[in-house]
Amino acid sequence: MKKTHGPALLATFATALSLALAACSSGTGAAKAAGGGAANSDGSPKTLRIGYQLIPNGDLVVKDQRWLEKALPKTRITWSRFDSGGDVNTAMIAGSIDIGLAGSSPVTKGLSAPLNIGYKVPWIFDVIGENEALVARRATGIAELRGKKIATPFSSTSHYSLLAALQDAGLKETDVKIVDLEPPDIQAAWSRGDIDAAYVWTPVLSELEKTGKVLVTSKDLAAKGKVTADLAVVRTAFADRYPKALSVWLQQEDRAIKLIRSDRTTAAAAVGRQLNVSPDDASKQIDQLVLLDGRQQAGPQYLGTASRPGALAQNLYSAAQFLKAQNKIPTVPDLDVFQRGLAGKELGDAFLR
């Protein structure tokens, strides 16, 4: 049975125009910039644009079961697939989506200068565990990767974890050659023999494990203080204008976690359909994550409440310090920037009333 609680979470684009163009063409599906518009007569949005990723958490259950479409019958729900949190950040800046999934590292960047994306975190999709890992072809330890070519999606949680793993092994970033590839491209490059190692997540990770060796997982790094998570981000303007719709969205995500706990067969089948894998494989992938329900997330270890922001703010602040040390962001924002970035009020309205 899936563990339902885990340790507390620790953890420049050139112009606005170039970002907007990138958002409309990146990956496998940035949503079109058009959308939103006036509200329906009942106050619900006419359109809700969601950016999702192929990660075996509750979001895929919500999508597969069409719960949002049923709960918001007057709202047109669009689902656009992304390959990484960096692409989600780009789409958020372009105004292409209203809610998206991004890892804690890209969210840290999104809340920091120079991006300062106008969004906040209302939900934790999952705490990352063994579903993200560093896999190598002909190495038994990380130190053996010196001079090797390692692929990972830049600005992702995997990128953050790779840098942490190298640092822990006594290697500098310049001791290896890190290349920026999205997960599908990593799988293709691995098949061609173009790369020596990769830090990536399932389902691509599962394919690489067939011919490679796992050197370290994100669960291993979490035990050393470098915890990562998949977070929801919602445009602040959308959250302010449509609080009821956001509450409905939160309740459906919570419903998915409860289904995973109570009826794994149905939940695994739903996730399997979205990932195009068997229910058994989907269930195994689900087990590699830590999933939290709404009440758990409103606790002090995680998102917290409006009056008392949770430990996630400190975790993102710690991640910002690490990213600054790696020259990935120019400055570290004050802690209150990350505290304001947590949507504790919205989470409390959905589950604690």
pLDDT for residue 37: 61
- Which CATH architecture fits 16-128+227-351? 3-Layer(aba) Sandwich (3.40)
Is-contact 112 320, C-beta < 8 A?
yes
pLDDT score, position 36:
52
What is the residue-level pLDDT of the chain in tens, covering all 353 positions? 333 333 333 333 333 323 333 333 333 333 333 345 679 999 999 999 999 999 999 999 999 999 999 999 999 999 999 999 999 999 999 999 999 999 999 999 999 999 999 999 999 999 999 999 999 999 999 999 999 999 999 989 999 999 999 999 999 999 999 999 999 999 999 999 999 999 999 999 999 999 999 999 999 998 888 889 999 999 999 999 999 999 999 999 999 999 999 999 999 999 999 999 999 999 999 999 999 999 999 999 899 988 899 999 999 999 999 999 888 999 999 999 999 999 988 888 888 76
CA 158 → CA 39, 78, 135, 140, distances in Å? 38, 27, 12, 20
In the chain, ranges of CATH 3.40.190.10 domains: 16-128+227-351, 132-222
Cα torsion 143, 148, 150, 154: sign? positive
Amino acid of residue 257: I
pLDDT of residue 17: 29
Return the H-helix or E-strand segment holding 104.
Answer: helix 104-111
pLDDT for residue 345 = 84
DSSP β-ladder status, 99-103 and 213-217: unpaired
Q: Using alpha carbons, select from 69, 84, 3 the residue that is nearest to residue 296.
A: 3
Nearest to 96 by CA among 140, 51, 134: 51
Give the residue carrying structure tokens 């998206």: 100
CA distances (Å), 1 to each of 216, 227, 254, in order? 24, 22, 18
User: Which pair of tokens denotes residue 86?
Assistant: 């960096």
- R_g of the chain computed on alpha carbons: 19
Which pLDDT tens digit goes with each residue over 264-310? 999 999 999 999 999 999 999 999 999 999 999 999 989 998 889 99
Q: Please list the residues that pair with 216 across neighbouring strands.
A: 134
- Give the separation between CA 269 and CA 99, rounded to whole angstroms: 24
Question: Which pTM value belongs to this model?
Answer: 0.84
DSSP 163: H
What ranges in 213-242 are assigned the alpha helix state H?
Answer: 218-222, 236-241
User: What local confidence, expressed as pLDDT, does residue 27 receive?
Assistant: 36
Determine phi and psi for 300, rounding to 5 degrees.
-65, -20
pLDDT at position 200: 98
- Helix (H) or strand (E) holding 100, with range, is strand 99-103
**pLDDT at 34 (0 to 100):** 37
* Rounded Cα–Cα distance for residues 310 and 318 (Å): 14
Among the CATH numbers 3.40.50.620, 3.10.180.10, 3.40.190.10, 3.90.1150.10, which is that of 132-222? Answer: 3.40.190.10
